[in-house]
Structure 1
Amino acid sequence: MSSEIAIKVENLSKCYQIYDQPRDRLKQFIIPRTQRILGLQPKQYYREFWALSDISFEIKKGETVGVIGRNGSGKSTLLQMICGTLSPTAGSITTLGRIAALLELGAGFNQEFTGRENVYMNASVLGLSNNEIDTRFDEIAAFADIGEFIEQPVKTYSSGMYARLAFSIAINVDPEILIVDEALAVGDTRFVAKCMRRIKDIQARGASILFVSHDVGSVRTLCERAIWLDKGSLVEQGDVFPVTGRFTEYMFSDEKSEQDALHDVLTDLYKEPPLQADATLTGGQATADSSTTATSSASIQAPAEYLPALDARPVTHWGSHKGIILTATIRDEQGAAKDIFAWGEALNILVEVNVPKDISREHLSVAFSIKDLKGTDLIVSTTHDFEFRRLPDKERFGVSFELTNPLVTGKYLLVAAVENRQHRDIHYYEYVEGAHYFASLANERLFGLFQPSIEQQILV
């Protein structure tokens, strides 16, 4: 294995034997052996369940990779085999470097031992000497922040205290490979933020990180690449943004069967056709006296040849009625669509749609968001926010959103969506992530993600 590779997985498979009744396990232990001795074909008393099937990938040193997939997709089984707590049925795993893992709450903890005793036991398993643990114990206890409970048996701990202590041990042994399996799902917001900062510190030191989470936002924030598993099979691996985008698209494809939804996503992966706007609907000027304005197609007069279509390279594109969104662009005060905007410049986000009459307007909403290239939502607005605006009964109309550009220098993308907001779980008629790509430029040196206009006063 190359010295640049931290983890190499080749043709990995894991099969479990499923017994319908307890006595079938005893039968399987005795009867097939007897049948083989007698020269008979041995009978099988179990069903095979393949938790993983023929998985292969590599993770380079210093790389952070997210593992995504629904419950039961094989994520935890994969991580347990990489850590060595499970043996594969077929295939091989090669790792290079000290591994620290958080596979589940309290994995490896002795319930009767105190927190202190478990720190020494777990850290020694991870390769630290007693002297090294002595040196780091105060730092481990301070990060866990469980106070006097460090001297109490861990069977008295809450789930959050388990997570705190387990995470603190794992990150304080200087791992070369850190494996985190949903460990951040438990704990208060303050502790999760502290964990995320420490993971980024470990990243900066050049460690390889394998991160499992159902939170696509966290995966996009931390990871460079993503591995998508489904029912034990590798669906896709690659750059984190498109892979997580297609996974999200698959998860939202609730109007179709699972097989059809996955087929559509994979078809888009290998052939994403350009999205074309309807040439009969042309660009329009937004009304300036409202932050959100709906306009009918009759008021849109610009020549058809100037109509910018949706970008032909959306990251993801799904929905029960794909084709409703005709255009989604960001324009300046003169109504010109551009790819570069200055900080503080007036922005007009125009979404033009063609909504069939059979879709009720009662809970219909048009929305946009601006994301960074990691996929983090920076600005989100919908016609359903604040004072609800009922959208026109006409099929074709446009919605204009106006704001002053608060984005610091960087690259961004526009998301456009048409939604049904009747229930808490939003139904998407159409969702286009990457309808328009653009950059923001600021002459000033600004920090943070975005910078609104702020009035300053010096009081003496």
Structure 2
Amino acid sequence: MSVVLRVKNITKEFRVYERQRDRLKEIFQKKPLHKKFFANRDISFDLYSGESLGIVGLNGAGKSTLLKIISGVLMQTSGSIEVNGSIAAILELGTGFNYDLSGVENIYFNGYLLGMSKAYIDENLQDIIAFSELDEFINLPISAYSSGMVVRLAFSIAIFSNAQIFIIDEALSVGDAHFSQKCIKKLKDIKAEGKSIIFVSHDLNSLKLLCDRIILLKSGEVVKDGDPQDVLDAYNYLITEIGKADENLNQLNSSYGSKEAIITNVCMKKDSNDVSVVCCGDSVSFEIEIYADQDLKDLSLGFLIKDKFGQDIYGTNTNLLGIDLDLKKDKRYLINLDLKLNIGVGFYTVTLALHSNDTHIEKCYHWIDSIFKFELINSDKKDFIGICKLNPYIHIKEMNG
């Protein structure tokens, strides 16, 4: 495979001023009145023809700045970019659009910016409109469009360009699930044609489906570059560490109860490792630590999984499961709840409660809403869609007649 993009030792420094007037004062006083902020530090990598490269990192890691440098929107402070072919980039919502023009007019306007000729746009106009699914609205000014409609149009224009490199920065996160899946399929098609993709997203499932390789950025530097699963494991570790730092604050904001017994910690483990991202159907263990400051009998630990819309996905408690829970004064307990996560792709939260008998209504010792967050992604082999994995057994037999 040939190299279509070579990024060599890219560094981007910004000057940060406390007050706007300090910019002018700095010129005349000839002494620095700014602080240096490095969005990118000494980043190097190659992109090959037909390769799909993912870039992940926590907010502020330098992902968008790097993409703007590669696409020519920003100039690097040092380092070099070598590009063998044209680039089509979707960087920010509405970039390259005139909101006073109609959808059709913006196809031409944005197409020209991407290097398309009028003849080429004429030839592909109906395909662009059809892919965007905006036929009814294509003659309206895009100031009347929702953010999702703008993304549909931007993606549709870019994907029909003759570019050799496609750069996509979180664009698919604004659209609906149907259009996101359609875009992923289209990106796979152009990848099969030998074109290259740089894809930035917080959607780990999309990254795993699309990318051959992923780069993890932290504080503007490359900390890992390689196999998607290995890099996503490292990214998941960073997320987990931040989650632990915020844990006490989250509990203070979302907990209540009489507190004779309290939930002190919760984590999710797979193969004895702390995780917050696993595959559908994986076996995990939720480790829950509790403490009582007095002897308490007949307690119940409640466990509830909710989806990103707040809908209850699964809930139970130790009382319903026929498990006795008696606590002794000043003792700590570790409770493991082992289960297979046979639920669909998406983001979920765990709510926990310590209460009497089978419900928290009579006596609630401690309730913590959304104490833990986790994400489910597809395994390498996608074998179902929907919100639950039922694992059917299929019988096939030949019938007479």
Please report the TM-score for the alignment, with normalisation by the length of structure 2.
Answer: 0.68
Structure 1 or 2: more strand by fraction: 2
Mark the structure with the bigger radius of gyration.
Answer: 1
2:199 maps to 1:215: no
CA contact (8 A) 1:351 1:398 kept: no
The one of 109, 115, 120 aligned to 1:121? 109
Cα deviation per residue 1:198-238 (whole Å; 9 max; x = unaligned)?
Answer: 11212222221111111112111211211111221222111
In the alignment, residue 23 of structure 2 is paired with which amino acid? R
2:178 maps to 1:205: no
CA contact (8 A) 2:302 2:318 kept: no
The one of 128, 131, 135 aligned to 1:143? 131
- Give the drift of 1:14: 0.8
Inter-partner Cα distance in structure 2 for 1:63 and 1:10: 18
Partner of 2:372: 427
Pairs within 5 Å for 1:27-38 = 27-28=25-26, 30-32=27-29
Inter-partner Cα distance in structure 1 for 2:239 and 2:338: 29
Pairs within 5 Å for 1:405-424 = 421-422=352-353, 423-424=368-369
CA contact (8 A) 1:249 1:317 kept: no
2:397 maps to 1:452: no
Partner of 2:249: none
Cα–Cα, structure 1 residues 351 and 63, in superposed 2: closer, same or farther, change >3 Å?
closer
Pairs within 5 Å for 1:271-350 = 317-318=273-274
2:77 maps to 1:89: yes
- Give the drift of 1:151: 2.0
CA contact (8 A) 2:96 2:113 kept: no
2:224 maps to 1:227: no
Cα deviation per residue 1:214-266 (whole Å; 9 max; x = unaligned)?
Answer: 111211121121111122122211111121122112212246559xxxxxxxx
Cα deviation per residue 1:141-184 (whole Å; 9 max; x = unaligned)?
Answer: 11112124322322222211110110000111143211111101
- Give the drift of 1:396: 8.8
- Give the drift of 1:356: 6.5
The one of 34, 42, 56 aligned to 1:54? 42
Partner of 1:389: 321
Output the aligned Cα RMSD: 4.3
Which secondary structure does the structure 1 equivalent of 2:137 belong to?
Answer: helix
- Give the drift of 1:355: 7.3
The share of aligned pairs that are identical, in percent, is 37
- Give the drift of 1:21: 1.6
Partner of 1:413: none
Structure 1, gaps ≥5 residues long: 33-41, 259-309, 321-346, 368-380, 406-418, 441-446
Aligned length: 327
Partner of 1:21: 19
Cα–Cα, structure 1 residues 112 and 91, in superposed 2: closer, same or farther, change >3 Å?
same
CA contact (8 A) 1:366 1:382 kept: yes
Partner of 2:231: 243
CA contact (8 A) 1:83 1:101 kept: yes
Which secondary structure does the structure 1 equivalent of 2:85 belong to?
Answer: coil
Which secondary structure does the structure 2 equivalent of 1:218 belong to?
Answer: helix
In the alignment, residue 425 of structure 1 is paired with which amino acid? S
- Give the drift of 1:136: 0.3
Range moving further from structure 2, 349-358 or 248-257: 349-358
Inter-partner Cα distance in structure 2 for 1:182 and 1:353: 31
CA contact (8 A) 1:51 1:74 kept: yes
Inter-partner Cα distance in structure 2 for 1:354 and 1:239: 29
Cα–Cα, structure 1 residues 397 and 111, in superposed 2: closer, same or farther, change >3 Å?
closer
Inter-partner Cα distance in structure 2 for 1:118 and 1:352: 52
The one of 2, 20, 28 aligned to 1:4? 2
CA contact (8 A) 1:67 1:229 kept: yes
2:183 maps to 1:195: yes
Structure 2, gaps ≥5 residues long: 247-268, 306-312, 327-332, 343-349, 354-367
Inter-partner Cα distance in structure 2 for 1:398 and 1:356: 9
Cα deviation per residue 1:46-69 (whole Å; 9 max; x = unaligned)?
Answer: 222111111112222211121111
CA contact (8 A) 2:12 2:39 kept: yes
In the alignment, residue 31 of structure 1 is paired with which amino acid? F
Please report the TM-score for the alignment, with normalisation by the length of structure 1.
Answer: 0.60
CA contact (8 A) 2:318 2:325 kept: no
Partner of 1:109: 97
- Give the drift of 1:139: 0.3
Cα–Cα, structure 1 residues 44 and 382, in superposed 2: closer, same or farther, change >3 Å?
same
- Give the drift of 1:45: 2.2
